[in-house]
């Protein structure tokens, strides 16, 4: 779920009605994942991890077990909201832009990528 969640971050989960753009704990294909709820059609949600190139697919509303309301970052241990209107909007707009930027970066010739070894500077 980078850049929203990083390895080691803590997540506060809450059982409430999910909204578009929320990060949610979802049962997908027999496993539990924290991914974004991108679109809703009647009683189904399209689930997509921010760093994934393609969505996980559509799941029933019952598969959404909880919504992540805040994250605790590793370096400072503070809690940061995840479920505000601006956080959801920013993530819904930012995740597709980040995926597109990674595709463009990966398509560059290896010599042009520089000393980062093929890793884009914005993926830290």
Phi-psi region of 82 (alpha: psi -120 to 50; beta: other; left: phi over 0): alpha
User: Where are the domains positioned within the chain?
Assistant: 10-108
The alpha carbon of residue 120 and the mean position of all alpha carbons in its chain are separated, in whole angstroms, by 18
Count of C-beta atoms within a 10 Å radius of residue 24: 22
Question: Do residues 18 and 64 touch, judged by C-beta distance below 8 A?
Answer: yes
Average pLDDT, the chain: 84
Count of C-beta atoms within a 10 Å radius of residue 45: 25
| pLDDT of res. 105 | 78
Reported confidence tier of residue 117, pLDDT bands at 50, 70, 90: low
Count of C-beta atoms within a 10 Å radius of residue 21: 21
Reported confidence tier of residue 119, pLDDT bands at 50, 70, 90: low
The C-alpha atoms of residue 48 and residue 82 are separated, in whole angstroms, by 16
- In the numeric block, the tokens 């463009």 are attached to 104
Residue 71: which of 16, 30, 34, 108 has the closest Cα? 34
3 against 113, higher pLDDT: 3
Region 70-97: mean pLDDT is 81
Of 68-82, 88-102, 103-117, the range with the highest mean pLDDT is 68-82
The C-alpha atoms of residue 124 and residue 117 are separated, in whole angstroms, by 13
Each residue of 17-58: pLDDT tens digit?
999 999 999 998 889 999 999 999 999 999 998 888 889 999
| pLDDT of res. 83 | 79
Percentage of the residues of the chain whose pLDDT score is greater than 90: 42
């Amino acid at each position: 779920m980078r850049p929203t969640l990083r390895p080691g971050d803590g997540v506060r989960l809450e059982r409430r009605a999910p909204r578009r753009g929320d990060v949610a704990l979802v049962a997908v294909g027999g496993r539990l994942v924290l991914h974004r709820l991108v679109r809703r059609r009647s009683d189904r949600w399209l689930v997509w991890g921010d760093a994934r190139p393609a969505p996980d697919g559509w799941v029933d509303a019952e598969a959404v077990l909880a919504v992540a309301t805040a994250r605790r970052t590793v370096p400072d241990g503070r809690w940061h909201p995840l479920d505000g209107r601006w956080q959801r909007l920013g993530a819904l707009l930012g995740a597709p832009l980040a995926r597109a930027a990674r595709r463009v970066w990966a398509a560059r010739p290896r010599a042009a990528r520089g000393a980062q070894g093929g890793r884009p500077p914005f993926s830290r």
